[in-house]
């Protein structure tokens, strides 16, 4: 049975209207990463961080999955095999597009996390600094997002999928952030065919066997159609 593991980054949601991080007009050009995406930044100025994610949550609620998200759902539904989407994205466009096996390694905008007891619950559209945890009542609610210096979610399960992959595809990732940037090496070592989908070669582009250059909304549906046709 074929197993396809797909890693997605901000580039797959760009054509839905969500900003990427490292583009010249992207999120990191507008906000200091140390201020909004580290636990130290949150400790210094929780309101700034909570407001940043409130705004991102509001933007994400306005957008829809694009043809690339939908194509991955089609692949999962129609492939005689297993498709696992590992996403660094905190939006839920894969789920809205119809994908079922989705792992959010960097957390989710729709989630809240208690910094005191690690309880997780659905976030309200607008969080406030000092919101109480529904489990322990500590005023310690934070966005359920993995910041720099924190351990991404489900690492053991992710690596289990990577070593079982026949095909590993990375879509719209810059290859600048670890551990995700190291997944191609892991999958390749375990024998997977590796494909990168991007507008240009990423920082780890030289580690992929195949490149599909162009907007994901075009390249991904084309590839999915090829994969499904070859296996019919």
Could you give the residue numbers annotated as active site?
A: 106
Dump the DSSP string for 107-123.
Answer: EEEEEEEETTT--EEEP
Measured distance CA(115)–CA(142) in Å, rounded: 7
Handedness of CA 97, 100, 103, 104 (dihedral sign): positive
The separation between the first and the last C-alpha atoms of the chain, rounded to the nearest angstrom, is 13
Which residue's CB comes closest to ligand BJW?
Answer: 11
Is beta strand 167-171 parallel, antiparallel or unpaired with respect to 210-213? unpaired
Of 25, 80, 151, 232, the one binding ligand BJW by CB under 6 A: 151
At 193 the three-state DSSP class reads strand
Binding of residue 20 to ligand BJW (CB under 6 A): yes
Residue 144 vs residues 39, 187, 196: alpha-carbon distances, Å: 12, 28, 28
| Shortest Cβ 146–ligand BJW spacing (Å) | 5
Of 4, 6, 10, 165, the one binding ligand BJW by CB under 6 A: 10
Measured distance CA(77)–CA(72) in Å, rounded: 9
Query: Of 43-51, 111-119, 192-200, 221-229, which part binds ligand BJW (CB under 6 A)?
Result: 192-200
| Shortest Cβ 1–ligand BJW spacing (Å) | 28
Interface with ligand BJW (CB under 6 A), residue total 36
Binding of residue 152 to ligand BJW (CB under 6 A): yes
> Which burial class, exposed, middle or buried, applies to 230 when counting CB atoms under 10 A from its CB (0-12, 13-18, 19+)?
exposed
| Shortest Cβ 37–ligand BJW spacing (Å) | 4
CB nearer to ligand BJW: give 28 or 121: 28
Query: Of 73-81, 131-139, 167-175, 186-194, which part binds ligand BJW (CB under 6 A)?
Result: 167-175
Binding of residue 195 to ligand BJW (CB under 6 A): no
Measured distance CA(106)–CA(88) in Å, rounded: 5
Binding of residue 54 to ligand BJW (CB under 6 A): no
CB nearer to ligand BJW: give 9 or 97: 9
Q: Which residues would be at the binding site for ligand BJW (CB under 6 A)? A: 9-11, 14-15, 20-22, 26, 37, 88, 90, 106, 145-152, 155, 172-174, 176-179, 197-200, 202, 215-216
């Amino acid at each position: 049975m074929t197993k396809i593991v797909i890693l997605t980054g901000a580039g797959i949601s760009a054509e839905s209207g969500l900003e990427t991080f490292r583009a010249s007009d992207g999120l990191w050009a507008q906000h200091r990463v140390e201020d909004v995406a580290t636990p130290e930044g949150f400790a210094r100025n929780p309101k700034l961080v909570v407001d940043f994610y409130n705004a991102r949550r509001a933007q994400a609620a306005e957008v829809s999955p694009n043809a690339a998200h939908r194509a991955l759902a089609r692949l999962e539904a129609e492939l005689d095999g297993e498709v696992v989407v590992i996403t660094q994205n905190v939006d839920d466009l894969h789920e809205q597009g119809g994908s079922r096996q989705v792992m959010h390694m960097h957390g989710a905008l729709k989630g809240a996390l208690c910094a005191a007891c690690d309880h997780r619950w659905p976030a309200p559209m607008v969080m406030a600094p000092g919101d109480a945890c529904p489990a322990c009542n500590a005023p310690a609610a934070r966005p359920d997002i993995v910041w720099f210096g924190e351990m991404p979610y489900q690492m053991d399960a992710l690596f289990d999928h990577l070593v079982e992959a026949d095909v590993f595809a990375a879509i719209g990732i810059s290859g600048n952030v670890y551990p995700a940037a190291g997944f191609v090496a892991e999958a390749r070592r375990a024998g997977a065919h590796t494909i990168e989908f991007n507008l240009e070669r990423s920082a780890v582009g030289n580690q992929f066997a195949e490149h599909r250059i162009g907007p994901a909304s075009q390249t991904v549906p084309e590839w999915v159609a090829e994969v499904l046709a070859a296996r019919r």
